[in-house]
Structure 1
Amino acid sequence: MGYNICMISDFFYPNVGGVESHIFQLSLCLIELGHSVTIVTHAYGDRKGVRYITKGIKTYYLPFKPVYNQAILPSFILTIPLLRNIFIREQIEIVHAHGAFSVIGNQALFHAIFLNPDLKTVFTDHSLFGFADTSAIITNKVLQIALWNVDSAICVSHTGKENTVLRGKVKPELIYVIPNAVDTRVFYPHLSCDSGGGRIGLVVMSRLVYRKGIDILGKIMVPLCEKYPNVHFHIGGDGPKMVLLEEITEKNNLQDRVFFYGSVKHERVRDILVKGNVFLNMSLTEAFCTAIVEAACCGLHVVSTRVGGVPEVLPPEVMTLAPVDPSLYLKAVESVLDKYLTGDILDREQTSRLASGIYKWKDMAQRTQVVYDNIFRRDADCEGSRKHDYPGNPKRSLYNIGVFFGKIAYIIALWNMLLILICDKLFPKETIDTCPKLLTKKKL
């Protein structure tokens, strides 16, 4: 019999992004492995209440509105009763939160041990964060509070694992590295497709924001167009840096060589990728970058900045790395274009075959299942369990988070216990109906 798993995050469909796609695809594969998956997120517009999506995945859209970057405001009074009801009703055994910026995910991890000491908790970190600025310090302290008693964590790259160990103060042996994957049924090359008329297509597909290195793109567009008359840019995505790119295009009369597609739905991403020959990723920080895997699966050679976990993602045959410097990145792109013109790089079919065999959702789901199995196999008192650090005294671990934040965490824990006690009196567990599970036959 499989596990009853609750995937919880502020980031889920109908919003589109890497975390949203990860939760959805992982849930589908876990269901095929015989597990039961329930997804919890906040409301998106009129989408509230309970919805059933592909393969009968029950999704709870809680009545909270996002405040900033699709995340809700912390609200212990409102989230504890709702999460308690869901965990009891769905007979949840594992609470799996996604994203360090997910408020509802962090709250669920913190609430879990108070709601039910037998609940297992898993956290997947999809991003890298710094340590120096004020926002990073606060974010890291909040993460430490959320992960104070987590059973295991998952990172999408080895660089991300090191980052999470330092930020979240989690034992390294409790953190697993499981990368993202790509659905190769959606991303595949169009072997008969070319840019047309001898054109060379350079594709950019990302949010047009500072963190994605769009300023670097703005500095290399004109030199590349001047040196290579057949180069054309295909830029998908939207954001505040769109204005910068449009100004550069108009100022240099490049309207016939630079094409903007705006915000692109996920199902249309491949249609734009196959228009190009080379994919450009200029991110200033990145834990994994699923976009470069999608591009490689479509047969494009990738030129990326050497940041975060990107060097771990693809082999050098299909990816060229460059420093975060406009002039050096420009030289790397020129080198790849010269190789393309002389036929010294892999063709579309070879690139796709090499990239598509590396990351598969079935493999990632099986590796995630191993994480779950190890949690249940590991006794609470044995070495390797996070609870081993503070046997029988969880409040001491909260207090040791820091002189200031430790006291805040201590107060929140006491407040949690008081609210749960009130909920137990007003709504006893025995009065909450449990839901039957829709399990599919194991296929993987």
Structure 2
Amino acid sequence: MKHCICMVSDFFYPNTGGIENHIFTLSQHLIKQGHKVIGITHQYNDRVCVRYLSNYFKVYYVPFPCFYLEGTFPFLFCSFGIMREIFIRENVTIIHGHGAFSGLCGDSMFAGSVLGLPTVFTDHSLFGFADISSIITNKFLEFFLSDVSRVICVSYTSKENTVLRAALDPNIVNVIPNAIDSLMFSPDPTKRHPNMITIVIVSRLVLRKGADIMAAIIPIICERYPDIQFLIAGDGPKRVLIEEVREKHFLQERVQLTPGMIPHSQVRDILVQGDIFLNTSLTEAFCMAIVEAASCGLQVVSTNVGGIPEVLPNDLILLAEPNVSSLVDQLEVAITNHRSGSVMPAHVKHQRIKELYNWSSVTERTIKVYNSTSSRPGTLTIEKLQKYYNRGSIVIAIIYVLGIATAHLLLYIIEWIRPKHLIDKAASLPRQKQE
């Protein structure tokens, strides 16, 4: 069964990050297996309209501005006409949205429900329940996923979090972990310092990534172990704090900071210089950084938050509580193991990661999720109204029902103004000209 998949997210190339890399790599493997894949994201500076990436991966950069942190505001009815036009023009059979914080992803889930197209949503992050940002995000997510076909989470912890936040049926939620291209993260022991033990940190320097814990650990370890140095690759508002610690304790020669956030293509060059990888995150759904570090042969020391305990086997990672004393203790264990030579060889770690996390397996499992979906009626049915009505209090339920009813009314108007046969005719013109 071959599909035409539409990947939708605000987080996409030319930005770099975990979601961006996941979408692009998964799309490339789906194309290699004979599926058609297109993408929809918002405009990036002068990057508007249509662009073609590797293997004729067609991406629509729609003219929607960013609202907050590269995410657009959920436009709902305003984006419905554009979504419908693209879906019909490209003969889309499955809509696959990524990222709970992406307004464009939510719009695509909503449009798919109205048009009767199968929808798949992948959640890449963990969110709370108490702060204002999380409450608003969760309510939008609950609305957009009221009629979703399938949901994919990257860990079982992420699955529990998403099911609770969006009030989902656990039976429609699948767990498919992330993957890496092991060829891009191969070990190279010759790059390590011969006389020093290097602790590498590759992370955004923000509160959520435990930058305050990181700043407290550095002077403690450097004072106890004169043959330890730190290599930190990352940027963010907490970078000033790391620089202040380095200057206060006169550690300029032992704590090296890269000039800003490095591109993902250069992460391996940083990792292979290290012996130990330190992750101080306070919340993570999966954490690709520790997988990449283990693939490069580093001993991983990490907090045991979120889905991290599910990622690596116990002999490849040392887990600690998200506090300074626990992480220092585990770092000392890693340093002792390194000095005694009782660490697993780098090539063995690389081979194990290669077998555990590869894109071929992720692609096959994702295709099975696609095959389990089916088209739905594009009309407003009692069953569809019931799905939106059973979403909480009576006030919320009425708002949700009015929203889906208004969308179907808008669909009738748009179909009268712009019938499907006109879109098909317009889509066939370039192909005729090319022939």
Partner residue of 1:224 out of 221, 225, 237: 221
1:247 aligns with 244
**Contact 2:154–2:176 (CA under 8 A) maintained in structure 1:** yes
Note the 1:347-386 alignment, pairs <5 A: 347-376=345-374
- Measure, in 2, the Cα distance between the counterparts of 1:77 and 1:357: 45
- Measure, in 2, the Cα distance between the counterparts of 1:4 and 1:392: 29
2:432 aligns with none
- Measure, in 2, the Cα distance between the counterparts of 1:391 and 1:323: 50
**Contact 1:16–1:266 (CA under 8 A) maintained in structure 2:** yes
The CA deviation at 1:380 is 6.9
- Measure, in 2, the Cα distance between the counterparts of 1:6 and 1:192: 43
- Measure, in 1, the Cα distance between the counterparts of 2:397 and 2:40: 28
2:399 aligns with 408
Once the two structures are superposed, what CA deviation does each residue of 1:350-369 show, in whole Å capped at 9, x if it has no partner?
22222222100111000000
Once the two structures are superposed, what CA deviation does each residue of 1:57-80 show, in whole Å capped at 9, x if it has no partner?
000000111120101122234311
By relative contact order (CA 8 Å, sep 6+), the higher-ranking structure is 1
**Contact 1:301–1:351 (CA under 8 A) maintained in structure 2:** no
Once the two structures are superposed, what CA deviation does each residue of 1:122-179 show, in whole Å capped at 9, x if it has no partner?
0000011122233222221111101001111000001111111111111111111100
Helix, strand or coil: the match of 2:143? helix
**Contact 1:191–1:349 (CA under 8 A) maintained in structure 2:** no
Give the partner amino acid of 2:410: L
Once the two structures are superposed, what CA deviation does each residue of 1:43-94 show, in whole Å capped at 9, x if it has no partner?
1111111000010000000011112010112223431111010000000010
Helix, strand or coil: the match of 1:217? helix
1:427 aligns with 418
- Measure, in 2, the Cα distance between the counterparts of 1:48 and 1:135: 29
- Measure, in 2, the Cα distance between the counterparts of 1:16 and 1:191: 27
The CA deviation at 1:317 is 1.4
Helix, strand or coil: the match of 1:186? helix
Helix, strand or coil: the match of 1:100? coil
Give the partner amino acid of 1:278: I
1:164 paired to 2:162: yes
Helix, strand or coil: the match of 2:2? coil
- Measure, in 1, the Cα distance between the counterparts of 2:280 and 2:381: 46
1:107 aligns with 107
- Measure, in 2, the Cα distance between the counterparts of 1:28 and 1:241: 35
Give the partner amino acid of 2:202: M
Structure 1 or 2: larger helix share? 2
Once the two structures are superposed, what CA deviation does each residue of 1:81-108 show, in whole Å capped at 9, x if it has no partner?
1101000000001000001001000111
1:342 aligns with 340
**Contact 2:41–2:60 (CA under 8 A) maintained in structure 1:** yes
1:442 aligns with none
Change (3 A) 1:420 1:58: same
1:56 aligns with 56
**Contact 1:27–1:37 (CA under 8 A) maintained in structure 2:** yes
Helix, strand or coil: the match of 1:185? helix
Deviates further, 353-362 or 21-30: 353-362
Helix, strand or coil: the match of 1:192? helix
1:396 aligns with 386
- Measure, in 2, the Cα distance between the counterparts of 1:398 and 1:11: 27
1:264 aligns with 262
**Contact 2:294–2:350 (CA under 8 A) maintained in structure 1:** yes
Note the 1:145-224 alignment, pairs <5 A: 145-196=143-194, 198-224=195-221
- Measure, in 2, the Cα distance between the counterparts of 1:406 and 1:233: 53
- Measure, in 1, the Cα distance between the counterparts of 2:88 and 2:71: 25
**Contact 1:219–1:326 (CA under 8 A) maintained in structure 2:** yes
Give the partner amino acid of 1:274: V
- Measure, in 1, the Cα distance between the counterparts of 2:352 and 2:388: 46
Helix, strand or coil: the match of 2:364? helix
**Contact 2:201–2:231 (CA under 8 A) maintained in structure 1:** yes
Helix, strand or coil: the match of 2:315? coil
- Measure, in 2, the Cα distance between the counterparts of 1:268 and 1:341: 28
Helix, strand or coil: the match of 1:38? strand
Gaps of 5+ in 2: 429-435
| Percent of aligned pairs with the same amino acid | 45
- Measure, in 2, the Cα distance between the counterparts of 1:315 and 1:100: 28
- Measure, in 1, the Cα distance between the counterparts of 2:356 and 2:200: 22
- Measure, in 2, the Cα distance between the counterparts of 1:356 and 1:337: 25
Change (3 A) 1:76 1:171: closer
RMSD across aligned positions (CA): 1.8
The CA deviation at 1:406 is 2.4
Partner residue of 1:135 out of 133, 149, 152: 133
- Measure, in 2, the Cα distance between the counterparts of 1:73 and 1:374: 31
Deviates further, 165-174 or 426-435: 426-435
**Contact 2:76–2:110 (CA under 8 A) maintained in structure 1:** no
Gaps of 5+ in 1: 382-386, 437-444
Helix, strand or coil: the match of 1:15? coil
Note the 1:48-87 alignment, pairs <5 A: 48-87=48-87
Helix, strand or coil: the match of 1:344? coil
2:39 aligns with 39
1:92 paired to 2:92: yes
2:431 aligns with none
Helix, strand or coil: the match of 2:339? helix
Give the partner amino acid of 1:121: T
Helix, strand or coil: the match of 2:39? strand
The CA deviation at 1:391 is 7.5
- Measure, in 2, the Cα distance between the counterparts of 1:195 and 1:51: 43
In the alignment of these two chains, the number of paired residues is 424
Give the partner amino acid of 1:170: L
- Measure, in 1, the Cα distance between the counterparts of 2:132 and 2:148: 25
**Contact 2:182–2:350 (CA under 8 A) maintained in structure 1:** no
Report the TM-score, using the length of structure 1 for normalisation. 0.92
Once the two structures are superposed, what CA deviation does each residue of 1:233-285 show, in whole Å capped at 9, x if it has no partner?
11111100001000000011100011111210111111111111111111111
- Measure, in 2, the Cα distance between the counterparts of 1:275 and 1:145: 47
**Contact 1:200–1:276 (CA under 8 A) maintained in structure 2:** yes
